[in-house]
Chains A and B, each alone.
Chain A
Amino acid sequence: MIKLKSKSTVIVLVLLVLFFLFPLMSKQLFGNTGNYMLLIAFNIIMYTAMGSTWNIIGGFGRQISWSHAAFFAIGAYSAMIPLVRWNISPIVGILAGMVVAMAAAFLIGFPAFRLKGVFFSLCTLACGQIVYRLLLHFTGFTGGASGLVMKKINSDRALMLLFKNNNVYYYMMLLLAVLVVAVCIIIEKSRLGYYLKAIREDEVAAESLGMRPNQVKLCAFMISAVLMAVIGAIYALRFKYLDPESVASHDLAIRIGMTVIVGGIGTVWGPLIGAIITVPLLELTNAYFGNMLNGGLSQLLYGLILIIMVIFMPDGVISIKSLWQNHKVKGGL
């Protein structure tokens, strides 16, 4: 058991080193497609981070939230709007975004956590839609459906977090992902994590033992939202373009959850595994089948993966390991 644990630590460290070195190697490895590969790597890291934040409330507490795209959007717009409209440093914007996301999480979570299970999910779905619609409506502020574009930059300005080289953002995201996963590890072993797991198993029993489930859930929800906002901000700085469809849509909310579920819901490494599997898979299907069959095929596969995972592997890809482990133990006996 201990041996296996150290083995997975080694795997994670190797992956981390690979991700760290990837921007230096991608040109040599893939030549012309190097930049594209780098983008995929960036997305893998970003979805790992997003999945991990979603996992805090969605996995540990098993409160399936569909409003996390909204927090992502809040973070992204909070960094972008001050920068584009008033030339204020995104550092301020990121901090503001964290505060706004926390407030939004409170506003959403307070009514939503009065509801259990699927009703909670539906409530968050509605809240996510509200944010999406508001972003579309206030065109003068957010740019509406046509989006918000950042001016092309000529020189690096560290205080404004503007860099010509996109690799800087790659490393920012990598650092952030490591931080988020670290937070997840800490939470999993902390009092909050055990509370959340107790709620997941049996909320009524947890409450009868003196816990206040709603407070615990709200707390986890807010932590999760704040982290998500930072990820959104880095995304905005990296791509220098935002529109509600790409950062606040229902599809993004689902995709965040799906990443975790494919990997293994409620486990620390599930989001990483999920991101490593789903991001390249969807990129590949988009690249090869994107224009086939009226453009529906790649998204169709997306839905099918979800269905197949739920029916045949409800605990995610990570459960393969434990299956193998159980098998070995049985064999040993």
Chain B
Amino acid sequence: MSGLIQVVINGLMIGGVYALLAVGLTMIFGVMKIINFAQCEYLMLGMYLTYCLYNLFHMDASNNPYIFIIPVAVIMLIFGIVIYQIFIRPIVGRDMVSYILLTMGLSYVLQNAAQIIWTANPQSIDTAIKSKSLYFAGLDLSVPLAKLVAFVLAVAFVLMVSAFLKNTDMGRAMRATSEDAQIAALLGINTKQSYLLAFGLGSLFAGVAGVLLSPIYTVYPRIGTLFSTTIFAVVILGGLGSVAGALFGGLLIGIVENLVGTYLALDLAPVGVFVLFIFVMLLKPNGLFGVGGRKA
């Protein structure tokens, strides 16, 4: 029994990070109706940024990478905006095929640019938090500290996004744009600004997720591919454009992945995720929290 609880907890932990990645994706989708296939490459960049900053300031094992959340977030926000201005803006208003291909091309470019800069060898940061874990003797559970921190911060970020979208003018403008960009524009909302913001924030979240994952995974140029398909499954499972859906989908997929990985076979874990995903598609094509955005 405690084994099962342990597996579920492990799943929840990684699910929180999936949720954070998925929120960025779902936000870009909600506002612009496009899928950013390069989203997980932003994660990779976030991890490399953490790695560089960590070494730049000569951090050693006694430090932890979380102090870099804000600098990485700012850099990734700017990076996302620049990418939007250069690559995405020229094709705003085109059909979705253009977006798919453009962002796929972008993901190749980022992956290989990273390979050129940092080589293909995996890198990791030197921090003691990697090996620490909390042990609950009563329940016979152990939770790696890095994963716990990642989970808590990721969920906190997701809740912050949700509050931002609900309560601020900018958030309302973004939600209005996602409802109907044309009418929002008629009502005086700067929809282009909403697009820009969504894209920048998507990149910001991926960067933050990168910081959170840097003590857990080694970073290499193609690490994004490890997550990308899973994240797409999370987003669609939860219902595209829905922040609550992304959170729930992330946690659910994290748990399923760990259950399949533990009780069936480790390398079949993604298969379990995709099978679940296809089943949900069959039963609820709009996703679990879908709001009818499926027409895009």
In the bound complex, what is the Cα–Cα distance between A191 and B34 (angstroms)? 32
Query: Are A254 and B104 in contact, CB atoms less than 8 angstroms apart?
Result: yes
4 closest cross-chain pairs (CB), A and B: A303-B108, A306-B105, A296-B115, A303-B109
Residues of B with C-beta under 8 A to A257? 101
Out of A121, A133, A295, name the residue touching B271 (CB < 8 Å): A133
Query: Are A126 and B232 in contact, CB atoms less than 8 angstroms apart?
Result: yes
Query: Are A114 and B112 in contact, CB atoms less than 8 angstroms apart?
Result: no
Query: Are B115 and A294 in contact, CB atoms less than 8 angstroms apart?
Result: yes
Q: A250-B225, A307-B106 are in contact. Are A294 and B100 (CB under 8 A)?
A: no
Question: Which residue of chain B lies nearest to A125 when distances are taken between CB atoms in the complex?
Answer: B229
Within 8 A of B (CB), among A231-280: 250, 254, 257-258, 261, 265
Query: Are B296 and A300 in contact, CB atoms less than 8 angstroms apart?
Result: no
Query: Are B108 and A302 in contact, CB atoms less than 8 angstroms apart?
Result: yes
B116 at the A interface (CB under 8 A): yes
A123 at the B interface (CB under 8 A): yes
In the bound complex, what is the Cα–Cα distance between A112 and B282 (angstroms)? 8
In the bound complex, what is the Cα–Cα distance between A322 and B35 (angstroms)? 31
Q: A123-B278, A129-B274, A136-B267 are in contact. Are A311 and B112 (CB under 8 A)?
A: no
Query: Are A296 and B296 in contact, CB atoms less than 8 angstroms apart?
Result: no
Q: What 20 additional pairs, Cβ within 8 angstroms, besides A250-B229, A305-B105?
A: A111-B281, A112-B281, A118-B96, A119-B236, A122-B236, A123-B281, A126-B233, A126-B278, A250-B225, A254-B108, A293-B116, A294-B119, A300-B116, A303-B109, A304-B105, A306-B104, A307-B106, A310-B91, A310-B105, A311-B90
> From residue A308, how far is it (CB to closest CB) to chain B in Å?
8
Interface string of A120-160 (1 = CB under 8 A from B): 01110111011001101100000000000000000000000
Within 8 A of A (CB), among B272-296: 274-275, 277-278, 281-282, 285, 294-296
Within 8 A of A (CB), among B105-129: 105-116, 119-120
Interface size on B, residues (CB 8 A): 50
A56 at the B interface (CB under 8 A): no
Question: Which residue of chain A lies nearest to B88 when distances are taken between CB atoms in the complex?
Answer: A311
Chief secondary structure at chain A's binding surface:
helix
Interface size class of A (residues with CB under 8 A): 35 or more
Out of B35, B98, B116, B221, name the residue touching A314 (CB < 8 Å): B98
Out of B102, B267, B278, name the residue touching A137 (CB < 8 Å): B267
Within 8 A of A (CB), among B241-296: 265, 267-268, 270-271, 274-275, 277-278, 281-282, 285, 294-296
In the bound complex, what is the Cα–Cα distance between A323 and B104 (angstroms)? 27
Residues of B with C-beta under 8 A to A299? 108, 111-112, 115
A-B contact pairs, 9 of them (CB 8 A): A116-B296, A122-B232, A127-B274, A134-B268, A296-B113, A302-B108, A303-B109, A303-B111, A306-B108
Residues of A with C-beta under 8 A to B97? 62, 64, 265
Query: Are A64 and B100 in contact, CB atoms less than 8 angstroms apart?
Result: yes
B135 at the A interface (CB under 8 A): no
Question: Which residue of chain B lies nearest to A129 when distances are taken between CB atoms in the complex?
Answer: B229
Q: A297-B116, A306-B108 are in contact. Are A114 and B281 (CB under 8 A)?
A: yes
Residues of A with C-beta under 8 A to B274? 126-127, 129-130
Query: Are A130 and B108 in contact, CB atoms less than 8 angstroms apart?
Result: no
Query: Are B294 and A303 in contact, CB atoms less than 8 angstroms apart?
Result: no
> From residue B236, how far is it (CB to closest CB) to chain A in Å?
6
B87 at the A interface (CB under 8 A): yes
Query: Are B116 and A117 in contact, CB atoms less than 8 angstroms apart?
Result: no
> From residue A63, how far is it (CB to closest CB) to chain B in Å?
10
Question: Which residue of chain A lies nearest to B268 when distances are taken between CB atoms in the complex?
Answer: A137
A115 at the B interface (CB under 8 A): yes
Question: Which residue of chain B lies nearest to A110 when distances are taken between CB atoms in the complex?
Answer: B282
In the bound complex, what is the Cα–Cα distance between A138 and B288 (angstroms)? 32
Query: Are B116 and A296 in contact, CB atoms less than 8 angstroms apart?
Result: yes
Residues of B with C-beta under 8 A to A309? 101
Within 8 A of B (CB), among A289-333: 293-297, 299-300, 302-307, 309-311, 314
Out of A62, A116, A250, A294, name the residue touching B294 (CB < 8 Å): A116
Question: Which residue of chain B lies nearest to A314 when distances are taken between CB atoms in the complex?
Answer: B98
> From residue A128, how far is it (CB to closest CB) to chain B in Å?
9
B94 at the A interface (CB under 8 A): yes
Residues of B with C-beta under 8 A to A258? 101
Query: Are A115 and B116 in contact, CB atoms less than 8 angstroms apart?
Result: no
Query: Are A133 and B268 in contact, CB atoms less than 8 angstroms apart?
Result: yes
Residues of B with C-beta under 8 A to A127? 274, 278
Query: Are B109 and A314 in contact, CB atoms less than 8 angstroms apart?
Result: no
In the bound complex, what is the Cα–Cα distance between A123 and B221 (angstroms)? 25
In the bound complex, what is the Cα–Cα distance between A134 and B104 (angstroms)? 24
